[in-house]
Chains A and B, each alone.
Chain A
Amino acid sequence: MIELSDVSFSYPEATVLRGVDLHIAEGDSVAIIGPNGSGKSTLLRLLCGLAPKFSGRYRFDGEELNAARLADARSAKAFHRRMGLLFQDSDAQLFCGSVYDEIAFGPRQMGLCEAEVAGRVGDLLGLFGLERLESRVPYHLSGGEKRKVALASVLALNPDAICLDEPMGGLDPKTKHAMRKLIKSLNASGKTIVCATHDFEYVDGLFRRAVVLSQEGRVARDGPYPEVLADREFLMAMNIV
C-alpha cells in the first residue's frame, strides 16, 4: 500500500530524512521508533502528503505520489480522504465549535447527507465514549478527551491508513489502555496503522513491525516488533531506551 524508495527530505535548516526505504502492506501495523529529532513526525507528514518537496519515490496504493499530484486539488483530496493523520498536538487538529461539529467536519466535506453524518458522528461518539461531550468546545476538554476527539474526527473520513503521531503522549494510564484497545481493534478491522511512538509500555503487542530511525534520519532497522524491541543493546545504542 505504501512504498517509499530512497526518500529524503530537508527543511531549510537541516536534512531530516535520508534515503528512507519503507514498504507497508495493506492492513499492516508499523511502529516508527527513534530518538528525538530523528524525523518520525516528518516521516508521518510525508506519508500524509504534507511534505511534498521530497526526493525519491513515494507510491500509494500503486500510484505515484509527488508534488505535481499533490498540487492537483482533486487528487490531493482523494488521497487525504484515504490517509488520516493524528497530530501530536491535538489542539492543532481541533478548530470547530463543538465536539459534534468537529467529528462531522469531514463527512460534511464529503457531501454526505446530514442523516449519514449524524450516523457516523453517533457511532464514533459511542466508540470513544464521548457522548456526554457532544456539545462541548473541544479546546476546553482534557488532554485525553481532545486526543479521542481528534482521532474520531480522522476516523470520520473512514481512511484506509492512519498515521498516529505519539498517540499515547500526555495521556493517563486508563486512557492509554483505551487508546491501545482502539488502535488494536482498528487494525484488526483491516486499517493500516503507522505509529510514531516512544511509549513502549503501552504499545506492546500492538504492532507487527518496528522501523527504527537513526538520529541522522536513516532507517537503522526494520523488522518484527518483538524482535527489534528485544534487542536492548541496539536500542540503547540508538538512544531509544
Chain B
Amino acid sequence: METVPEWLLPEREPYAPRPDKGRYLEKNVLSILGTLAALREKPGAGRDRELLRPELALISTFLAVLLVSLSRGWFFLETASAFEFGCLCLLRGGIIARVLKKVLAAGVFTIAIFAPAFLIGRGGGVPALCCKVLLAVLAMAIFSAATPWHSITAAMASLRIPGTLVMILDMTIKYISLLGGLLLDMLCALKLRSVGRDDRKVSSLGGLAGTLFLKSKDAAETQFRAMECRCYSGNYIMKPRSSYGWREAALAAADIALLGAFAAFGIAR
C-alpha cells in the first residue's frame, strides 16, 4: 500500500454541512427498530409472555372472533366483552396500553368507514358492527401481545397445520428479523456517510434495496443447501411443549361458557 495522501492528513478540514430536506433515514431506522424489537421479544421476559399454552390461546382467539362475528344479540356481545377484558387484565400495564391503542385505531377506522351509512340514514346495524370489529381486533391484539412469534408457529404445528406451512412462516419471521437487522445496519451506514445534501436519495435507497435483495437471495440459497445437507425430508417437527395447567383449564372453561352464552343469546335476536 502507498503512503497516506496529503488531504487525509489531520489538518482540520473546515466543513459546514449543506442543508437537506427530509428525515427519512431517522424515520426508517425507528420503524425498523420497532418491528425488530417486537420480533425479538424473548419468551418469559414478562408475566404476559406465554401466559397460556399458545395452541389453546390460538383456539380461544379463533373461537372468540368467530362467535363475535356470528352473534346476533347484544347480550352475547356484552358477555364476549367481559371475557376479553378479563383476559386483557391479565397482561402488564404497558402491554395493555399497546393493545388498547391498536383497538382504538381500529375503532376510529371503523367509524370512519361506516360514517356515510349514518349520513344517509341507514346506520341501524352500525353500532353492533363497530362493536364486533372492536372485539375481534381486541381478541387478536391480546393474542399477539401475549404470545411470541415462535410460539404461534409452534402452536400451529401442534394443531396439525401442515409442517411446510409452519416452516415457511417460521423462516419468514426469521428472515424478517435477520434482514431487518441488516437493513438497520445499512441505514445506519448510510446515515453516517450522509454528511451533506443527498441529491440522489432514490438511488441510495435503491442501492440498499438491491443489496438487501442480493443478500436475501444468497441467504435463501444457503438455507436450501444447508437443509439438503441435513437430509430435509419435508417434515418439520417441533419439540412437544409442557403439559396443561390450571390456567389452561380455566381458559377452556371460559371458552365453553362463551360457547354456551352464544347458544343461549347469540343466535336469536
Contact = CB atoms under 8 A, between A and B. Distances in A.
A67 B207 CA distance: 28
A106 B12 CA distance: 17
A85 interface: yes
A153 B40 CA distance: 32
Contacts of A84: 192
Contacts of B241: none
Contacts of B210: 95, 97, 139
Contacts of B208: 95
A48 B189 CA distance: 10
A61 to B, nearest CB: 10
B198 A109 contact: yes
Nearest to A12: B37
B224 to A, nearest CB: 20
Nearest to A11: B37
Interface residues of A, number: 53
B4 interface: yes
Interface stretch (A2-10, A120-128, A208-216): A120-128
A158 B198 CA distance: 18
B195 interface: yes
Contact of B3 (A78, A120, A185): A185
A96 B194 CA distance: 13
Contact of B20 (A73, A97, A106): A73
A91 B182 contact: yes
Interface string B187-218: 01111111111110000100110110011000
A185 B3 CA distance: 7
A139 B211 CA distance: 7
B1 interface: yes
Given A12-B37, A87-B185, A50 B5 contact: no
A238 to B, nearest CB: 26
Contact of B1 (A73, A111, A154, A181): A181
Contact of B193 (A80, A111, A190): A80
B13 A158 contact: yes
B9 interface: yes
A129 B2 CA distance: 8
Contact of B194 (A50, A91, A109, A126): A109
Contacts of A158: 7-8, 13
B4 A186 contact: yes
A197 interface: no
B196 A92 contact: no
Contact of B196 (A94, A110, A181): A110
A81 B211 contact: no
B196 to A, nearest CB: 4
A190 B10 contact: yes
A111 B196 contact: yes
Given A129-B1, A158-B13, A91 B211 contact: yes
B98 interface: no
A203 to B, nearest CB: 17
B42 to A, nearest CB: 6
B188 to A, nearest CB: 5
B23 interface: yes
Contacts of A147: none
B7 A80 contact: no
Nearest to A14: B42
Contacts of B3: 185
B12 A95 contact: no
A142 B45 CA distance: 41
B15 interface: yes
23 contacts: A13-B45, A27-B10, A50-B192, A74-B17, A77-B194, A85-B189, A92-B186, A93-B186, A94-B211, A95-B186, A95-B204, A96-B207, A106-B193, A109-B196, A120-B7, A124-B5, A127-B5, A139-B210, A139-B214, A158-B13, A160-B10, A181-B1, A186-B8
Interface of A: 12-13, 26-27, 45, 48, 50, 73-74, 77-78, 80-81, 84-85, 87, 89, 91-97, 105-106, 108-111, 119-120, 123-124, 126-129, 139, 153-155, 157-158, 160, 178, 181-182, 185-186, 189-191
Given A97-B210, A110-B195, 11 more contacts: A80-B192, A92-B182, A92-B188, A94-B211, A109-B196, A124-B5, A129-B1, A139-B210, A181-B1, A185-B3, A190-B10
